[in-house]
Every structure is written in C-alpha cells, then in structure tokens.
Structure 1
Amino acid sequence: MTTDASGRGPEIEKQTHPAVILAVIGVGTFLSAMANSTVSLALPSISAELHVQLSSVSWIMLSYLLTTAVLLMPAGRAGDLWTHRTTYLVGFLIFFVGSLGTGLADALWLLVAGRIVQGIGGSLLLAAGPALLTTSFPAAKRGQALGMVSTATYVGLTLGPPLGGWLIALGGWRWVFFLNLPISLFLMVLGWRFLPRLRLDRKRPFDLAGTAALLFGLPFALLALVEGDKWGWTSPWIVGSGLLGLAVLTVFVLIERRHTTPVLDFSLFKSRIFSGAVLSALGNYISLFIPLILLPFCLTEGLGGSTATAGMLLMAQPAMMALSATPAGWFSDRIGTRPLAMGGLLVLSVGLLGLSTIGAGTPHWAAAVWMGVVGLGTGVFVSPNSSALMGSAPRDRQGVASGVMALARTLGMTIGIALATAIFEAAGGTTGHPWNEADFLAQRHAFWVAAAVSFASVIVAGWGNRKKA
C-alpha cells in the first residue's frame, strides 16, 4: 500500500480490523506498564543491597528515561518510514535483552547499562503504539481508543506495585526485571501475528544528520539538568556539558528546518493545539513523578510500612487513572478536550497539595487517598490531551507526533525525578534510615513545587486547547 494523492501517508490494510489492533496495543501496554511499575518499588531494596543513596540509585530510573528521551524522535520517524509494526516488534526484542542483563547485574553500573538497553527498546515501543492507533481509527473515535489504551496502561500500573512487592518479598528485586522476559516474548508473538503489514514509499530519506545531532546534543543537555544539583551548577563539568548540549541542539534545529523529511518537524508547533498539548503534558508528568520517586521511601522508611504494604498503597493512583481514562476519552470526543484537560490538571494540583500534608503521624490510608486524587486528575487529563495532540498532526506525521508526545512524557518524568531528588536533598532530606521531621519537611517542599507546576499547566492547557480537536 502506498501514499495516496493527498499525501496522507500509508493506510492500514483493509483486512486488519481496528479493534484487533486496539486489542494488541492494549495488551502490550497493560503488560509493559505492569512490569515497569515495579521498578520504583525495588529502589529501596537495591539501595540497601548495594549501599548507595537516593541520588545514585535514582539513576536506575533516570538511565531508562534519558535513553528513551534521546531516541524517541528518531524512533517515531523510523516508524513513519519503515512501518510502526517493525519498530514495535524490534522494540520488544531489545527490551527483552535489556531486562535479562538488568536482572543478572551485580553492580550499580551494570544495572544502569541494562536499563539503557531497555530504554532503547522502550523508545521504539512508545513511538509506535499511538501511531498505530491513530492511523487505524477515525477522528470521531480517536479519543475513545486512546482512552481505552490509557486504561489498559493504568490497570497494569495498578497491578504492578502489589505484584512487585510480592516478587521482591519472595525472590528479591531481580525478579522485577525477570518478569519482563516472558511478557516480551508473548507480545512479540502477538504483534507478529496480528499487527498490520504496510507497504510504504521508501524513497523518503531518513534524516541521518539531524538524528546524529540529536543523539549527541540531548544527552549532554539532560546530564547537566539531572546532575546540576549534585555536582554544583557552577561546576566546569555541568557548565561545559550544558553549553555543549545547547550548542549541538541549536545545530539540530538548523538542520531540521532545512531537511525535507526531518526527525522533528517544527511546523507541527505552529498549531497552538499541538504546542499547548505538548507543554501541558510535560508539566503533568513533572508533577506526577515527584511523588512517585519519593513515596516508596516515605511509606517504608517514614511511615514504617513493608514493601508489600507500600505496593498496595501505591495502587490507588493508577487505579483511579484506570477508572477515569476511558470515560475522559469518550467525553472528549463529544465536548472537546479543553475542559477535561484543564479540570484534570486542577484535580492533580489538589492531590499534590494533599500529599504535602503527610507527616510522621499520618495514617497509611490518607496517603492512599491523596494518591487516588492525583491519579484521578492525571487520568482525566491524559486521554483528551493525547487526542488533541495526535489529532492536530497530519496523517503522514503521526509517528513524529507520537514521538513528540512520548518525549514530553519522558522528559517530564526525567525532570520530575531530578527535581524530586534535588529538592529533597537540598532541603536536608536523606534516605536509608527511619525518617525524622526534617525528612518529611524536605518531601513537603518537593510536593509544593509539584503542585505549582501542575497549576501552571492548567493555564497552558487552557491556552492551547481553545477549540475541539
């Protein structure tokens, strides 16, 4: 199948029913989310076994997110040129290899290396999934389809923490990574059997120069952002890394503006809907990941719960996301994306302020309630915002749009983790011992920042989503 006269790009084969594609992508996101959601719960156990502090063990999360962030745009463009089915299947194969290496690692650097390999596979998966959906469903059903996949993601995130707590208690933290092995194999078989094969126009060149500039510049810029607080913002390493990253990224922008098939099509950002959706998604994930990195330590070291108990309590957030995502997508197809995106972010802000009240005497159920409010806000926000973003991009740029959406999410997660660590430690908080009042106060400062970012994102969402997308 080739590009049509309108230039809309390749179309899904007629015999592949959209519901089948939705089922395959939904199962994939459910199982992947379930496996990945156990990693943060394993951090206290890894920290204790390897005798490293939060600032070091957080690289187990950051290495995956940074790798994914760097590769998302090339992965999205590769899907547009070489089929999203191919990138989806190769992504799971690479993810399998990384999971095996991470589970076998016996040192922090080996764990980080395995997570980098996982991130390479994850970038392909994150770029391919939404593009497969948005090229399969009409605009009138796009929000509902994305909402259903979001629900599958959040159900996986709900089941992941208790499963992870059980695995860690039974066999240790390594089984959090070994869990990915049968899941990846199963999904490779499922995708090979059911995802559509496309016949693409391969005459369009891949942007090698832009890809090289992005792969070289973005890691240096992100390294300065993540390690600035630890190494010192005036450190020659941080200043040099930041300036080098910005210089190469400037070259990247110049290349992209001249290339006929760029990795990142900056013309997409001329749409206020697209730009607003990207920026509000970035703010949402910054706000969400500040508590997600700190609460496992708070619940175990601060409130005295077991790892299994912490896993059960953390279920509240993805459970509420799962309950709200599909209805939010359905309503966005009928009333537009703006009120739901703004309302969801406002609810998220309230939940984060509630989490900031946690102290030494806070009952476990209160933390779960506030995490439920956080999950409700994010669940209401994500599907309408994703629908607005993907719907504002041309059909032959769906891979690029999907990559931008995933990049905003991944950068938000990365910045959120970096901010949580920096604010917590700068305010005098430490981990690896029963928390005292100073540790709870340091966490409170981090949650206040998260709430402020979320509230600012409400304004951005209102600016961008001025009309039904």
Structure 2
Amino acid sequence: MNMAPKTFADDPRIQKRRWWILVAVCLFTFMSTLDASIVNIALPVMSTDLRIPMNQAEWIVSIYLIVICSLLLLFGKLGDTRGKIRIFKIGSVLFILGSLLCGFSVGLPLLLVARSVQAVGAAMTMATSNGIITEVFPFNERGRALGTIGSFVALGSIAGPGIGGLILAHLSWGYIFWINVPVGIVAFMVGQRILPRDITLTHASVDIAGASLFAVMMVSLFAAVFMGQEIGFNRPIIWGLFVVGIVTMVSFIRLELRVSDPILALHLFKNTRFSVSVLCAFLIFVVNFFFNVIAPFYLENARGMAANYAGYALMTFPIVQVVVAPIAGSISDKIGPELLTFMGLILIAISQVGYMLTTLATPLWLFMFFIGLVGLGNGIFMAPNNSIVMSSVPVKDLGVAGGVNALARELGMVIGISVATTVLFAAMSRAAKRQVTAYLPAHPAIFITGMHVAFLVSLSICLVATIITGWRLLKHATQA
C-alpha cells in the first residue's frame, strides 16, 4: 500500500506540473496588481461618463486598495487553516466576477460594490500565492519561482498606465476591467486541472476579533490619508479617523499578544531574517512609488513627451525586472540570497541619485538608463528577499507570511504615493512661495526643484533599507 506524499515537493505528479501551477498563480498575481494601477489613467474618462466629480472618481482606486489591505491577513490565516489552494480558487472566481461587474457603467455606487468584490478576490489570491509556490517548489528552485512571481507583481504594478492607455485609445473604459475576464477564466480552468488538493491544514480557530480590529484600523488610517489629501489634514474628521486608527492599532496588538491563534503571528517578527526582509520590502515599495508618481510628470509635463511614448519609457522598469528576477532567484538558490539583496539595494540607491541629479537638460537616454537601473536593482533584490521571507517560517505559517509580505507591498504602494505627492507639492510650494497642488506649466524649474527634494527623500529611505540589509549580510558572513 503506497503512502500518500506528506508534501507537494515529494509528489512526482505535482512536480511534473509545478511550472504550470506557477503560470496559473502568476496570471492572477499580475491581474490583481495591475488593477491597482490601471484605473488611474481612466479616471478622467470615468468621471465624465458617470457624471461625477474627480474627487469621487478617485474612490474607485482607493476602495480597491483599502479592501485588499484590510483582508490580506485574514485570508493569509484562512489559507493556513482551511487551505491555501482552496482560498486561492475562491478568490479567482470572485476576482473574475468583480471584474465583469466593474465594466458596466451603471453608476458609482454599483461600481464601488463591484470594485470591492474584485478586491476581496484579489486579496485572497495575493495572500496565498507565495505560500502555494513555496509549498509546491523544492528548496533548490524556490528562489527562481518566487522571483517569477515578483516579476509579475512588478509588471502589474507599473504596467497599468501603459496598458490602460492602449485600451482607452480604442475601447470604452469598461474594457480595462473586462480584459481580466477571458484571461481569468483561462487561468482558472488551468488551475482547476493542475492545482492539487491542500494537504497542509492546521484547522485552528480563526481570530475574528483580531481580523475585525485590523480591518477597522486599515479602513480608518487609509480613509484619513485619502480624504486628508482631498480636503486637507487639519479637519476634525481627519484627526478623528487617525485617532480611531491608532486606538484600534493598540487594541489589535494587545489582543494578538493574548490569543492562542492570532490573525497575525507576532512571534514571526522575532525572527530577524523574516522581519528585516518584510521591512526592507516595504521600504523599497515606498521608494518605487516615488518614481511611479513623479516620473510621468517629468516625462510628459516637463519634457513634453506624448503620453504613449512616456508609457513605453516607463515600461523599461518592469521589463528589466521581469527578465532579471528569475535569474536572480536561480542564482540565490545556488549562493544564498543575502548578498544579492544587498547588491540590488545598492543599484536602486544609485538610480535614486541619478533621478536626484536629473534636470530639464538631461539626455533622455540617460534618464532611461536610470529607469533600467532601478528595474535591475529591483529584479536582483525582490526574488531573493521573497525567498528569505517564505523560507524563514514553518510550513504551517506560510499563509500568514505570504499575507504579511503582500501587505508590506500594498502598504508601501499606498504610503509611497501619499508621501511622494506630499513631499513633491510641499517642495514646489516652498520654491514658488505659494500653495501648489498641481504641475505649473509656466514654471518647469519649480517642478524640477520639487522632484529633487522628493528623490532625496526616496534615496534616504532606500539607504535605510541598504544599511539594514548590509548589517544582515555582515552578520550572516561572521556566523558562516
């Protein structure tokens, strides 16, 4: 009588299909991250079509991010207790359904509901994808596989404006959502055939109180940030939301330290490999979204480049990362990830210096070189860093680890956008000696001044991550 394999890595049938499993997971990873960025470029058209002001239209983007961040930890934990593949499949269906509903221009309320359904599905797939791949792939291929997922995350995060612009040039805005439906159905059908049944289940109770507190904390803090940018941060309602967020944060941490099966296993952060890697991932996503916010202003407004050509130029970043990340992952499988993460951060820091020194007279080929350099640095950094995160926790906590890693990414994106716009316009206001909240066509030099200050801030954030990672590398070398 044959014993059933105890892990996916021991099952020869699953190992034959492991790369197809990666394809199915990567497709949903790409679509769920793409839909955080693709909508921005369509907001003016959607605002006109739905007859709503621009500040209301921006909630179509905001609600997606808020729902995802509120639910990532819950679905990470449910992946550990009820099965990561089961949660991933349910999330795939919800994401496809939400995408289908989003495309109908019935009105803002229905669109926000549909967008929330889409976000719930995206959170389910984001929280479980890294855990599934970590379980399926043997240790000596894990870095390459996680690097491939990281490539699709990067591609989805930054390709939105380019892909969205191409769709809007020929079709109505609904197709930026409907494009997910056929791709999602194909990926789901492939997944149904090749994804195995879950075998790693803890059946532990789920900390509903903790999940609820975390959701209230995320909604309060994000609503405060988004509304504060819209109406100003000196309003009582904004301060009230920040107070609610901070109080629920304290309550959440106290609860998680008491319960036997917390939604966030805080003990994982005692592992310095895990906590340092998650922190550095968060910091680098903040840095990356400084670039995402400011680079389009520089290329389109300051340099007068057409939007489609600016989109092609910005695609240099994810294309380089897509090529480099699996290679870096393969190398990290052979030599270890610590040195590669440090090298990647050095390259990202150099690119920030390049942006900081860029002027209106800088040759475009040189600016493109710095875009490629940040893509190279991210490709070298992300795959080994993800490998450290997912390899430093026991199998029973892979769902939570994947949820925390995805949460760090999404928080980095939101905070990066918020801080970049705040710093950019504050520096421009100081240079103009008046309040500035948009690009000033008659004064491109004022924008360049603001851009230099913003990239000085992003360089400082990158250097913090580089120093922490360098300390870890030194510590690892002395212990070896």
TM-score, normalised by the number of residues in structure 1? 0.88
**Structure 1 SS opposite 2:260:** coil
Aligned-pair CA distance for 1:216: 1.6
Separation in structure 2 between the aligned mates of residue 39 and residue 165 of structure 1, nearest angstrom: 15
- What is the DSSP-based 3-state SS (H/G/I as helix, E as strand, rest coil) of the residue aligned with 2:17? helix
2:193 aligned with 1:193, yes or no?
yes
Count of residues in correspondence between the two structures: 462
| Residue in 1 that maps onto 2:21 | 24
Structure 2 gaps, min length 5: 430-435
Counterpart of 2:454 in structure 1: which amino acid? A
Q: Match for residue 165 of structure 1?
A: 165
- What is the deviation of 1:278? 0.9
State the AA in 1 paired with 2:356.
Answer: S
**Take 1:152 and 1:295, find their aligned partners in 2: how far apart are those partners?**
21
Deviates more, 1:321-330 or 1:379-388: 321-330
Per-residue deviation, 1:231:
4.2
The structural deviation recorded for 1:364 is 4.3
CA positional deviation for 1:78? 0.6
Supply the AA of the counterpart residue of 1:23: W
Which of residues 445, 453, 461 is equivalent to 2:461? Answer: 453
**2:476 equivalent to 1:467:** yes
- CA RMSD for the aligned pairs? 3.1
Show the counterpart of 2:284.
284
The offset of 1:366, in angstroms, is: 3.8
2:254 aligned counterpart, secondary structure: helix
Q: Secondary structure at the match of 1:205?
A: coil
Which amino acid counterpart does residue 30 of structure 2 have in structure 1?
A
Aligned to 1:206: 206
Distance 2:469 2:42 in 1: 38
Q: Map of 1:84-233 to 2, 5 A cutoff?
A: 84-105=84-105, 112-154=112-154, 162-199=162-199, 201=201, 203-233=203-233
d(CA) in 1 for partners of 2:166, 2:144: 33
Cα 1:12–1:144, aligned 2, differ >3 Å: closer, same or farther? closer
Of 429, 436, 443 in structure 2, the residue corresponding to residue 436 of structure 1 is 443
SS of corresponding position for 2:262 = coil
Quick one: which amino acid aligns to residue 82 of structure 1?
A: R
* CA–CA separation in structure 1 for the residues paired with 2:66 and 2:334: 36
Q: Alpha-carbon deviations, 1:393-442, whole Å to 9, x = none?
A: 01110001111111111110110111122223333454487473223433
Opposite residue 331 of structure 2, the aligned amino acid is: F
Per-residue deviation, residues 126-153 of structure 1 (Å, max 9, x unmatched): 1111101111223333212212333455
Q: Does residue 63 of structure 2 align to residue 63 of structure 1?
A: yes
436-445 or 118-127: bigger deviation? 436-445
Are 1:343 and 1:377, in contact at CA under 8 Å, matched by a contact in 2?
Answer: yes
* Structure 2 CA distance for aligned equivalents of residues 293 and 174 of structure 1: 24
Alpha-carbon shift at residue 296 of structure 1 (Å): 3.1
User: Quick check: 1:42–1:168 contact (8 Å CA) kept in 2?
Assistant: no
Tell me the secondary structure at the aligned position of residue 17 of structure 1: helix
Provide the C-alpha distance between the structure 2 equivalents of 1:296 and 1:327, rounded to a whole number of angstroms: 29
Q: Which moved more, 1:251-260 or 1:105-114?
A: 105-114
Question: What are the within-5 Å matches in structure 2 for residues 37-56 of structure 1?
Answer: 37=34, 40=37, 43-47=40-44, 50=47
Give unpaired runs (5+ residues) of structure 1. none
Q: 1:150/1:240 Cα in 2 relative to 1: closer, same or farther (>3 Å)?
A: same
Q: Is the 2:40–2:161 contact (alpha carbons within 8 Å) kept by the matching residues of 1?
A: no
Report the AA paired with residue 300 of structure 1.
E
Deviates more, 1:19-28 or 1:333-342: 19-28
Q: CA separation of 1:251/1:39 partners in 2, compared to 1, >3 Å: closer, same or farther? A: closer
Q: Which amino acid aligns with 2:103?
A: G
**Compared CA separation, residues 41 and 190, structure 1 to 2 (3 A):** closer
Q: How many angstroms does 1:121 deviate by? A: 1.3
Deviation at 1:290, TM superposition (A): 1.5
Partner AA of 1:421 in structure 2: T
Q: TM-score scaled by structure 2?
A: 0.86
- The question of whether the paired residues in 2 share the 8 Å contact of 1:313 and 1:364 is answered with no
Alignment of 1:234-245 (within 5 A): 234-245=234-245
Report the secondary structure of 1:135's partner residue: helix
Alignment deviations for residues 107-135 of structure 1 (CA, whole Å, 9 cap, x no partner): 66665554333221111111111101111
Cα displacement (A) at 1:295 = 2.7
